[in-house]
Structure 1
Amino acid sequence: MTEHLTTARATADTNVAAAVQEADEAAALAAALEERVRNGDNTVTPAQIANARELGNFAQLRADATRRQAEAAKRDARLADLAQLKADIDAYQADNGDQAAALLDTVYDALNTYVDHVQAHTRRITAWRQRMTDLDVPAHKGPSTPPAEHGRLARQADGSIIAGDTVHRTVNPWPALDTILTAARHHADGRTHSLRTAQEKTTDAKKSVKAMAPRPQVTPGLVHYRGTGGAILTYDPDKAPTPDDIRRLKLTPITDTEAYA
């Protein structure tokens, strides 16, 4: 509903209410005069009652006329808004589907490019892993650099490989695509919380595929100790035991190699 129609309806309703009130007051005046006569008031004349009734009838006629005018004004305002709406629709240059189809082609090409990129990475990692298997490179569990006897190479149970101090991982392309599709649905909703969710989903999708980036196998700078029972304790330097703690707990400092052996 446009402001024009809203204003027209409000104005018409106000005029009708005023006319009805005027008719009601005129009718009440005639009724009051008649009631005074019934109560024995001899000052009320027949002419006064006749005039009051005539005034009430006239006020009712005016109220009826105002009501009809209001209905006509509302009808005219609505027709004007409908005409404007039709003009807006007629002026719209609708997409006959070609632009939407072209956008789908763009999306499809982008999806294929993304999937090809991720799968090419995974095929490369898988091929290197198979070459390691063929060369009897064993699996490696500890967070340390693989031994020199295996060329500083290793396989891990999750499908990743280790080369020196670097881990290379495969990535499944489909979960991120599912997440992006969910993000698009939230974006289409348009509400503030939905747009926020769409951004969060987009961030999650990108984070999942960024896992394909090489990462260090060993976190540098950690300090390690062996407890009296043989347990290995590893700390960030700023959280490492104090000299007093080391003596009290009888901890023995050890190297990375010893810690990850």
Structure 2
Amino acid sequence: MTEHLATTRATAATNVAAAVQEADEAASLAAALEERVRNGDDTVTPAQIAGARELGNFAQLRAEATRRHAEAAKRDARLADLEALKADIDAHTETTDPGQLVDNLFNALLAYTQHFETHNARVAQWRTRMTELGVPKVHSSTELEAPHAHLGRDHNIARLYVGATVYAPVNHIANLPRHLEELGLAAKHLTAHPTGPRHTQAQAYAQERIDKVKASARSGVRTQEG
């Protein structure tokens, strides 16, 4: 609601209330004169009662006129606000193509997928070469030996030990929905609080989500034991 419409409604309500009060007071005057006659007051004249009634009827008409005028003013003010709203909508020009945003998102997902596919292929190649060269299976980097250049293959999963560094394939397809959800929460909080007292809190929350995804993405790629 605009200030113009709010002011119009408040003024209308005030005017109607004043007119109704005036009509009620005029009606009460006629009723009081009639009651005085019933109680034996012979100073009240028929002209006084007729005048009071006429005044009351006139005040009622004035109150109705004020009410109608107020309703018309409120309708006009609302229509003016609606027309202003329509003008704002008609003047709006979309500055960002949503289709381009989809392209940007797809390209980012493509880069994400290609990175981990390349990483997984490289780890698989290294494991094949280790197998061909007779690198033994181990449970941890503490079992690595110099005769095998401190290389080792994990017993149960596709991890590789290279000194204190562990390389492993990444199930990026399974991780993607969780990563997107975390990043979506980060974006939602920053969008909801772009400024103001909660902006700093939103920034901290968003960064926590982003850091969580980064840590998850990096964890299987290359980690240090010990």
Q: TM-score range by the shorter chain?
A: 0.7 to 0.9
Once the two structures are TM-superposed, the CA of residue 100 in structure 1 deviates from its matched residue by 1.7
Question: Counterpart of 1:178?
Answer: 177
Question: Counterpart of 1:126?
Answer: 124
Question: Counterpart of 1:257?
Answer: none
Looking at structure 2, the residues matched to 15 and 184 of structure 1 have their Cα atoms a distance apart, in angstroms, of 55
Looking at structure 2, the residues matched to 176 and 15 of structure 1 have their Cα atoms a distance apart, in angstroms, of 66
CA offsets, 1:36-74, max 9 Å, x none? 111222222222212211211111111011011101101
Aligned in 2, Cα 1:164/1:12: closer, same or farther, shift over 3 Å?
Answer: same
Q: Percent identity?
A: 53
Code of the residue aligned with 2:178 in structure 1: it is: T
CA contact (8 A) 2:141 2:163 kept: no
Code of the residue aligned with 2:222 in structure 1: it is: P
Question: Counterpart of 2:89?
Answer: 89
Query: Aligned to 2:142, what secondary structure does the other structure show?
Result: coil
Question: Counterpart of 2:133?
Answer: 135
Code of the residue aligned with 2:146 in structure 1: it is: A
Once the two structures are TM-superposed, the CA of residue 174 in structure 1 deviates from its matched residue by 2.5
Question: Counterpart of 1:61?
Answer: 61
CA offsets, 1:130-185, max 9 Å, x none? 22222332221145150223331111133211112221222222344313432455
Looking at structure 2, the residues matched to 65 and 145 of structure 1 have their Cα atoms a distance apart, in angstroms, of 98
Looking at structure 1, the residues matched to 213 and 175 of structure 2 have their Cα atoms a distance apart, in angstroms, of 4
Unpaired runs of 5+ in structure 2? none
CA contact (8 A) 1:160 1:168 kept: yes
Code of the residue aligned with 1:165 in structure 2: it is: A
CA offsets, 1:234-260, max 9 Å, x none? xxxxxxxxxxxxxxxxxxxxxxxxxxx
Greater fraction helix: 2
Q: Does 1:48 align with 2:48?
A: yes
Once the two structures are TM-superposed, the CA of residue 104 in structure 1 deviates from its matched residue by 1.5
Kindly tell me the number of residue pairs found equivalent between the two proteins.
215
Q: Report which of the two structures shows the higher radius of gyration computed on alpha carbons.
A: 1
Query: Aligned to 2:97, what secondary structure does the other structure show?
Result: helix
TM-score normalised over the length of structure 2: 0.84
Code of the residue aligned with 1:70 in structure 2: it is: A
Once the two structures are TM-superposed, the CA of residue 75 in structure 1 deviates from its matched residue by 1.1
Which deviates more from structure 2 when the two are superposed, residues 32-41 or residues 165-174? 165-174
Question: Counterpart of 2:216?
Answer: 208
Larger relative CO (CA 8 A, sep 6+): 1 or 2?
Answer: 2
Structure-to-structure mapping, 1:203-242, within 5 angstroms: 203-217=211-225, 219=226
Question: Counterpart of 1:115?
Answer: 113
CA contact (8 A) 1:182 1:201 kept: no
Question: Counterpart of 2:97?
Answer: 99
RMSD of the alignment, in Å?
2.4
CA contact (8 A) 1:176 1:205 kept: no
CA contact (8 A) 2:150 2:162 kept: yes
Looking at structure 2, the residues matched to 92 and 202 of structure 1 have their Cα atoms a distance apart, in angstroms, of 33
Unpaired runs of 5+ in structure 1? 220-261
CA contact (8 A) 1:182 1:198 kept: no
Question: Counterpart of 1:39?
Answer: 39
Code of the residue aligned with 1:164 in structure 2: it is: G
Question: Counterpart of 1:10?
Answer: 10
